Every structure is written in structure tokens, then in C-alpha cells.
Amino acid sequence: MNIHEHQAKELLKEFKIPVPKGNVIFSLNEIDKKIKNLNTNNLVVKAQIHAGGRGKAGGIKLVKNKDDLLKETSAMFGKTLVTHQTGKKGKKVKRIYIEEACNVKKEFYLACLIDRTSSKVAFISSTEGGMDIEKVAKDNPEKIVTTKFNLADKILNDDLNKITNIFNLNKKQKEQANKIINSIFNLFITKDANLVEINPLVITETDDLLCLDAKINFDDNAIFRHPEISKLRDLDEEDPIEIEASKHNLSYIKLDGSIGCMVNGAGLAMATLDIIKMYGKEPANFLDVGGGASKEKVAAAFKIILSDKSVKGILVNIFGGILRCDELAKGLIEAAKETKMNVPLVVRLSGTNFEEGNKILKNSNLKILSASDLDDAAKKIVKAVG
Ligand code: GDP
Ligand code: MN
């Protein structure tokens, strides 16, 4: 789960990590109230969307007085920002963060994340702050330092030094950096985060370190342990179909192709996507209905697939274990009738009660192509979609 920059900064503050003073507004008439404690001669106006690259897209503006503040915020509210992280559709600005600006001497990149390959926590540090870090990784990999250690460990001095070495800090800044890194690690562990990214971490004109931008992502599987975090969820920033899927406990991820997929088991789902690609088409989604899916859950999954207008055909690939194929067949028929399904549907059933399942589908008078195995199923749906 992602949160907004202003929420991430509140969390940083809680963990005693230095951030500029600021307030969030949801509409223009909140401005007067929300700038009382700020220096209005030097502010930065920041569009709050769940995407980076706002600076280049016009989502970050420096203002020097109240008139300009009003001008920039009125122009920004309701504007659709397209950045390299939003996709072509962009994201509409519904909240704005007004923050005291600072004069920046240097910009760094600092992030804490999980390195899955080594099963360790990693800090990434770079002198190329404020930039797109993926681009730095590609063009100037020598400017990125990765420091890994075990989840259970305290950060050792050697590791702190390794993280900050490239920053070339004086003694005071080095102490500040150590505190910031330890606090970020503490936040990361305490809140079950996947990523805490500060880009940029800056040196101000008073030679202090300050976090100018913050992005935090949390582990969805641990959110139940943090009701205070789950409150921060902003559904406006999420794909409506994915929200619907999460209500039914379905693992659903939208993809760009035309073949909708319904599968039980993540591994089987991956194999299904691969074989569709192998026969020359692109899947429209990843969807795992899980092991013990009920008839209702199957019906909900089917409706979710069909609500995606780019779906031109559906492949259902089920291995009946706990989920029985006859139950699944009933759910499918119900959903197909209710949604007046008008795209080709190929179903491959295997495992518990598959013969009964196939019989139910055959007797339903719906146009359903049944397949004997996964290979056959993939060929049939690719052909049917054309
Ligand atoms: P992003 O483009 O979505 O990553 O948004 P950021 O919050 O990182 O802002 C983009 C850039 O605006 C930063 O890298 C800074 O260079 C600049 N910026 C943001 N806040 C300030 C500020 O208070 N003072 C100055 N001088 N620049 C700022
Ligand atoms: Mn940034």
C-alpha cells in the first residue's frame, strides 16, 4: 500500500526525522487557516498524487508570496498530472501540500528497502538526488551504493559509514545522517514497510540535513497489524477494479492485453500468462481466486474480469483441490448469465470433480469451449480472440 507524501512526512516526524514544516489542504478555502504557522515569503506547493516525477510535470511550484500561492494552488487543484510513473491517463490532483521551502546546497538519494535476492535489508545511497534513480542506475551505476545487512541486526558503524561515505559530510552532518538512517530503519521495521525513499535528502544553507520528499510503501500482508496505517489508504489513487477485487480477497492485477484469466493458485496463474504469451497474445490480468474459492467468489472474479473493457476473451484454468470443479462451474454459469457475457470463454478443468464440472458447463447452453489441457486451452482462446 502506498501513501501520500504529506502522510509519509508525518510518519518521518513521528520518528524524529527532520522534514520541513507544512500543511495539507483539500480545497482553496482552507488556505488561510493552513498557512498561519508558515513563512509565506518562501513556500513550495506540492501536488499530492501517488506518483513521483511531479517536479517535471508541473506538480511542484516555488512561491514567494500569498498571491502566487493562490494562483498556483488554484491552477493545481483538479489538474491531471502525467508523469513517468502515472501512465498516460495521469492522476488528478485532489490535495496539495504547502510547505516551507528551503535553499538547497546539495541533493542526495537515500532509500531503505528489502533486497529479496539476498533476503536482507538494503540502504541505497547516491549523490544524484532529486533525479529519477532508475535512470542513475542505468547511466551512472558507480554513483549508487548499496549497503545490506540482516533484518534483526542493529546497523553497524561500518555500514553507516558505507551508506554515507559518498555524501562527503562534515562531522555535524554525519551525526545527523546516522540518526536519520537509524530512524528510517526503525520506521521501516516498526511499520512493516517495503520501501522508505527520501529523494531528495538535502543539505540546507545552514548546513543541516533535511528530507524534502518522502515515499513510503507498506507490506499489504502486514497492514492488519497497523490500523493507523490502513487509515491512510486513499482509494482515489487506486484502480477501481483492484479495489473491488481486494474486497473479495482476490489477488488481481490489471495488465495490458486482451485475454482475461481466472486461475486458482499464483504459480498456475503465472504459467497461464506465460502460455498465452507463447501463443502470441497478451493477458489482460493476473487473477488468483485462491485455493478454497466459493461459488460467490468465482462469480465476483468473473464479473471483475468482464468489467475490463479491453477483455476480448476469457480463459478459466482451474485445478480442483479444495475448490471443487462442479462448484466452480455453477459459479461461472451464474456469473456468465448475470453479466450477459458476450466474449468467447474457454474453460480447462482438472482435479476434483472435473467430469461433473464439464458436464454442468456443457448442459448450460452457454457458448463455452472446454479444453482438455492447458496447452489446448491457450490455443483455443488465442484462436477465438483472433
Ligand atoms: P518529485 O518530482 O515528485 O520527486 O517531487 P519532489 O518533492 O522530489 O520535488 C522535485 C524537486 O523540487 C526536488 O528534487 C527539488 O529539487 C525541488 N524542491 C522541492 N522542494 C524544494 C524546496 O523547498 N526548495 C528548493 N530549492 N527546491 C525544492
Ligand atoms: Mn522526489
Using 50, 70 and 90 to split pLDDT, how confident is the model at 297? confident
Name residues contacting ligand 1 (CB within 6 A): 44, 46, 52-55, 60, 101-104, 107, 130, 199-200, 212-213
Per-residue pLDDT tens digits for 142-182: 999 999 998 877 899 999 999 999 999 999 999 999 999 99
Please tell me the number of the ligand nearest to residue 110's CA. 2
Cβ-contact 53, 133 below 8 angstroms: no
Mean pLDDT of the chain: 94
Model pLDDT, residue 69 = 97
Q: Is the per-residue pLDDT at 321 higher than 90?
A: no
Could you report the per-residue pLDDT of 371-386, keeping only the tens digit for each?
989 999 999 999 999 9
- The ligand with the least distance to the CA atom of 98 is 1
> Which one-letter amino acid corresponds to residue 73?
T
For residue 215, the cross-strand partners are 197
Closest-CA residue to 244 (of 330, 307, 335)? 307
Contacts of 267 (CB under 8 A, 6+ apart): none
Is it the case that residue 325 has pLDDT exceeding 80? yes
The predicted structure's pLDDT at residue 87: 80
| pLDDT tens digits for range 33-82 | 999 999 999 999 999 999 999 999 999 999 999 999 999 999 999 999 99
Question: Are the C-beta atoms of residues 278 and 310 closer than 8 Å to each other?
Answer: no
Which residue's CA is minimally distant from atom 13 of ligand 1? Answer: 130
pLDDT of the residue at 293: 77
**Quick check: pTM over 0.75?**
yes
Mutating to test ligand 1, I would choose from 212, 215, 216, 237 the residue with most ligand atoms within 8 A of its C-beta, which is: 212
Q: Which of 162, 144, 75 is nearest to 108 (CA)?
A: 144
Please name which of 53, 98, 78 lies closest in space to residue 215, comparing C-alpha atoms. 53
Torsion of CA 347, 352, 353, 358, to 10 degrees: 10
CB-based contact 69:40 (threshold 8 Å): yes
Give, for ligand 1, the residue of 60, 83, 102 to mutate: max count of ligand atoms closer than 8 Å to Cβ. 60
pLDDT above 90 for 286: yes
Q: In angstroms, rounded to a whole number, what is the distance separating the alpha carbons of residues 272 and 286?
A: 9
Exposure class string for 131-142: b at 16+ Cβ within 10 A, else e: bbbeebeeeeee
| Preceding amide of 200 cis, omega within 30 | yes
Cα separation, 287 vs 279, whole angstroms = 19
**Pairing state of beta strands 96-100 and 193-204?**
unpaired
What residues does 43 pair with on adjacent strands? 63, 100
218 beta partners = 193
Q: Taking a C-beta distance cutoff of 8 angstroms, is the pair 203, 106 a contact?
A: yes
pLDDT in tens, 220-256: 999 999 999 999 999 999 888 888 998 898 999 989 8
Q: DSSP string spanning 3-15? A: --HHHHHHHHHHT
| 214 C-alpha to ligand 2 centroid (Å) | 7
Residue having the nearest C-alpha atom to atom 14 of ligand 1: 130
CA of 150 to the centre of ligand 2 (A): 27
Closest to 383 in 3D by CA, of 286, 280, 269, 263: 280
In the chain the first and final C-alpha atoms are separated, in Å, by 37
The residues annotated with a catalytic role in the active site are 109, 197
Residue ranges of domains in the chain, CATH in brackets: 21-100 (3.30.1490.20), 104-230 (3.30.470.20), 239-385 (3.40.50.261)
| Strands of the sheet with 96-100, listed across from one edge | 22-25, 96-100, 43-47, 60-63
